[in-house]
């Protein structure tokens, strides 16, 4: 009987250990609208997003041709965005402007960054509670409502 109890306890420990293991997933959401292509990569443990990476390429040829903006305007604006974003812990931002295409890459490390700080800095728009972090399911549903195509890897 003691051996059976011991085996049951060991089995329960093994089973509960397997169940508590987090499932890591990556979901990629994309959209193309007129001159802009965006790719958002969401990395998550279970349903909690741990990292959000944004890659956005915008063809500004039309705006340049119409004289609406200059390279100086774009660079000045991008530098301001970089300063604002990188003032927040856990956020990086890079950009390039080549052949009238502005390419921007933003990374939000949500294990390092405070979601509340990101919301306060207007870097993230979130509805509902963030006590448990950002929900992957809700975020993907919101992106799909905005006509992004999302696929889990």
Return the half-sphere exposure (C-beta side, CA atoms, 13 A cut-off) of residue 78.
Answer: 21
Q: CA angle, 130 as apex, 126 and 132 as ends, to 5°? A: 145
Per-residue model confidence as pLDDT tens digits over 102-144? 999 999 999 998 888 888 888 888 776 566 788 999 999 999 9
Which residue reads 């993230």 in tokens?
124
Lookup: tokens for 146? 């905005």
pLDDT digits (tens, 9 = 90+) for 52-72: 999 999 999 999 999 999 999
Position 117 scores a pLDDT of 85
* Residues 45, 61: Cα–Cα separation, whole Å: 40
Cβ atoms within 10 A of the Cβ of 106, count?
A: 20
Q: Residue ranges per domain, the chain?
A: 22-152
pLDDT given at position 44: 96
**Single pTM value for the model:** 0.80
The CATH superfamily holding the domain 22-152 is: YehR-like (3.30.1830.10)
């Amino acid at each position: 009987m003691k051996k059976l109890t011991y085996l049951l306890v060991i089995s329960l420990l093994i089973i509960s250990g397997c169940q508590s293991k987090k499932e890591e997933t990556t979901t990629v959401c994309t959209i193309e609208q007129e001159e802009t292509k965006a790719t958002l990569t969401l990395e998550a443990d279970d349903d909690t997003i741990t990292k959000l990476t944004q890659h956005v390429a915008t063809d500004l040829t039309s705006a340049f041709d119409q004289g609406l903006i200059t390279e100086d305007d774009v660079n000045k604006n991008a530098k301001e965005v970089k300063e604002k974003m990188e003032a927040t812990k856990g956020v990086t931002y890079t950009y390039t402007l080549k052949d009238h295409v502005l390419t921007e890459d933003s990374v939000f490390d949500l294990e390092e960054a405070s979601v509340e700080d990101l919301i306060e800095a207007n870097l993230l728009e979130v509805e509902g509670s963030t006590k448990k972090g950002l929900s992957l399911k809700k975020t993907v549903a919101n992106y799909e409502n905005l006509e992004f195509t999302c696929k889990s890897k």
